[in-house]
């Protein structure tokens, strides 16, 4: 009895093993799919390109040199995708039984967007309302602020530091010339008795009062 069960068990195990071998041989062959992805125009390697099999969800990503490698099955359909480039599709032949290595060129994906006009206001009525309610600056107010922040003493000192202009210099030269002409060879008189000096003194006093 024990011998019968032992023989039956061996037969079942042998049958299961043979079935598994047949299934494995009949299934798709696993291949190694490797290569490099480059730009179709510059031939520069492209990193970060996603290469995957949509049916099974298997996939990988290219490294900084554009290289990749992944196991695939004969008959798989692969997709290479990255931002800014047109998707690439690659079909593995059903009866292919060798590893695959190749260079994949990707082309730019040009996308033309419709013209977009940007305006600060959504409608013309909103623009008109904003213009009508706009508060214009008051020039008198700005002038008052400027004059209030300026020291009058500083202005007077700056005016005195400028000196005489051409007309004032010529007038002073003429006065000095006539004074010398009147004195002749006499010793120069004191400015305290000079009428022109007194005239300039009173003129400067009047200017100072007006500025105050």
The CATH number of residue 107's host domain is 2.60.40.1120
- What pLDDT is recorded for position 61? 94
For residue 150, give its domain range: 139-211
- What pLDDT is recorded for position 107? 93
SS (H, E, C) the chain: CHHHHHHHHHHHHHHHHHHHHHHHHHCCCEEEEEEEEEECCCCCECCCCEEECCCCCCEEECCCCCEEEEEEECCCEEEEECCCECCEEEECCCCCCCCEEEEEEECECCCCCCCCCCCCCCCHHHHHHHHHCCCCCCHHHHHHHHHHCCCHHHHHHHHHHHCCCHHHHHHHHHHHHHHHHHHCCCCCCCHHHCHHHHHHHHHHHHHHHHHC
Q: Whole-angstrom Cα distance, residue 87 to residue 89?
A: 7
Q: Which of 76, 77, 78, 74 is nearest to 95 (CA)?
A: 74
Q: Are residues 176 and 103 in the same domain?
A: no
Q: Are residues 41 and 80 in the same domain?
A: yes
Q: Are residues 99 and 148 in the same domain?
A: no
Compute CA 193 distance to the chain's CA centroid, rounded to the nearest angstrom: 77
- Residue 148 covered by a domain: yes
Q: Are residues 105 and 152 in the same domain?
A: no
- What pLDDT is recorded for position 4? 46
Block mean pLDDT (10 aa), the chain, length 212: 49 51 60 92 94 90 94 91 92 85 89 77 77 70 62 66 61 68 56 63 66 58
Q: Are residues 147 and 193 in the same domain?
A: yes
- What pLDDT is recorded for position 177? 66
- What pLDDT is recorded for position 13? 46
Q: Are residues 88 and 151 in the same domain?
A: no
Q: Are residues 108 and 35 in the same domain?
A: yes
Q: Are residues 99 and 144 in the same domain?
A: no
- Residue 99 covered by a domain: yes
Q: Which of 60, 78, 67 is nearest to 38 (CA)?
A: 67
Q: Which of 112, 130, 158 is the last residue of a domain?
A: 112
Q: Whole-angstrom Cα distance, residue 50 to residue 83?
A: 10
Q: Are residues 44 and 90 in the same domain?
A: yes
Q: How many distinct structural domains can be found in the chain? A: 2
- What pLDDT is recorded for position 5? 45
- What pLDDT is recorded for position 8? 44
Q: Are residues 104 and 163 in the same domain?
A: no
Q: Are residues 34 and 102 in the same domain?
A: yes
- Residue 2 covered by a domain: no
- What pLDDT is recorded for position 114? 83
């Amino acid at each position: 009895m024990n011998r019968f069960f032992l023989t039956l068990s061996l037969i079942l195990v042998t049958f299961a093993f043979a079935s598994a071998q047949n299934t494995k041989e009949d299934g798709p062959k696993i291949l190694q799919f490797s290569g490099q992805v480059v730009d179709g125009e510059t031939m520069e390697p492209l990193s970060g390109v996603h290469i995957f099999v949509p049916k099974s969800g298997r996939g990988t990503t290219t490294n900084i040199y554009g290289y990749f490698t992944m196991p695939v099955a004969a008959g798989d359909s692969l997709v290479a995708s990255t931002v800014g480039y047109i998707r690439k599709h690659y079909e593995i032949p059903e009866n292919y039984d060798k590893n695959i290595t190749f260079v994949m060129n990707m082309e730019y994906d040009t996308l033309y967007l419709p013209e977009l006009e940007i305006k600060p206001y959504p409608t013309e009525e909103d623009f008109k309302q904003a213009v009508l309610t706009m508060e214009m600056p008051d020039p008198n107010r700005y002038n008052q602020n400027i004059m209030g922040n300026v020291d009058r003493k500083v202005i007077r000192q700056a005016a005195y530091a400028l000196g005489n202009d051409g007309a004032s210099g010529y007038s002073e030269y003429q006065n000095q010339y006539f004074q010398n002409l009147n004195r002749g060879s006499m010793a120069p008189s004191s400015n305290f008795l000079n009428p022109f000096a007194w005239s300039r003194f009173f003129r400067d006093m009047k200017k100072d009062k007006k500025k105050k």
